[in-house]
Amino acid sequence: MADEPRRGTHGRRHRPRARPSPRAVHRRRDRGRDRALPGGEVDRPVAGHDDRDPPPRRRRTRNPLDLAPRLGLVIVDRTDEELRYALPCKWGLVEEDVLPAWVAESDYAWAPPIAAALADAVARGLTGYPDFEVGGALGEAYAGFALRQFGHEVDPAAVIPTADVTAGVRLALDILSEPGPVIMPIPGYPPQLSIAQVTGRQRVDLVVDPDAERAEIDLDALDRLFADGALTLLLTQPHNPWGRVFTRSELEGIRDVVRRHGARVVSDEIHAPLVLDGSPPHTPYLSLDGTADHAVAVVAGSKAFNTQGLKCAQILAPDPATRDLLRDVPMARNDSWSPLGVTAAIAAYTECDDWLDALRARLSAQRDLLVDLLAEHLPEARMRPLEATYLAWIDLRGYGHDDPAAVALEHGRVRLSPGHDYQPGLPGHVRLNIATSPERLTEIVRRMAKALA
Average pLDDT value for residue range 386-398: 98
Structure confidence by residue, pLDDT tens digits, 243-253: 999 999 999 99
Structure confidence by residue, pLDDT tens digits, 92-134: 999 999 999 999 999 999 999 999 999 999 999 999 998 887 8
- CA 247 – CA 237 distance, rounded (Å): 10
Q: Specify the range with the lowest mean pLDDT, choosing from 14-23, 302-311, 381-390, 438-447.
A: 14-23
Residue 333 has pLDDT above 80, yes or no: no
Domains of the chain: 22-111+354-452 (3.90.1150.10), 128-351 (3.40.640.10)
Q: Identify the pLDDT of residue 64.
A: 35
- CA 245 – CA 150 distance, rounded (Å): 13
Yes or no: say if 429 and 393 are a contact pair by the CB < 8 Å rule. yes
- CA 254 – CA 248 distance, rounded (Å): 10
Structure confidence by residue, pLDDT tens digits, 73-102: 589 999 999 999 999 999 999 999 999 999
Structure confidence by residue, pLDDT tens digits, 49-77: 443 343 333 333 333 334 344 334 589 99
Beta-carbon count within 10 A of 278 CB: 10
- CA 16 – CA 29 distance, rounded (Å): 23
Q: Identify the pLDDT of residue 61.
A: 36
Q: Identify the pLDDT of residue 335.
A: 74
Q: Give backbone dihedrals phi and psi of 367, rounded to 5 degrees, phi first.
A: -60, -45
Q: Identify the pLDDT of residue 406.
A: 99
Q: Identify the pLDDT of residue 332.
A: 67
Residue 205 has pLDDT above 60, yes or no: yes
Q: Identify the pLDDT of residue 73.
A: 58
Tally of residues, the chain:
453
Q: Identify the pLDDT of residue 228.
A: 97
Question: Measured between alpha carbons, how far is residue 333 from residues 171, 205, 278, 341, 424 in Å?
Answer: 7, 26, 41, 19, 29
Q: Give backbone dihedrals phi and psi of 21, rounded to 5 degrees, phi first.
A: -65, 155
Q: Which pLDDT band holds residue 214 (cuts at 50, 70, 90)? A: confident
- CA 161 – CA 312 distance, rounded (Å): 7
Q: Identify the pLDDT of residue 215.
A: 86
Q: What pTM was estimated for this model as a whole?
A: 0.84
Give the end-to-end CA distance of the chain in Å, rounded to a whole number: 24
Q: Specify the range with the lowest mean pLDDT, choosing from 26-35, 96-105, 221-230.
A: 26-35
SS3 14: coil
Average pLDDT score, the chain = 86
Average pLDDT value for residue range 383-406: 97
Yes or no: say if 348 and 304 are a contact pair by the CB < 8 Å rule. yes
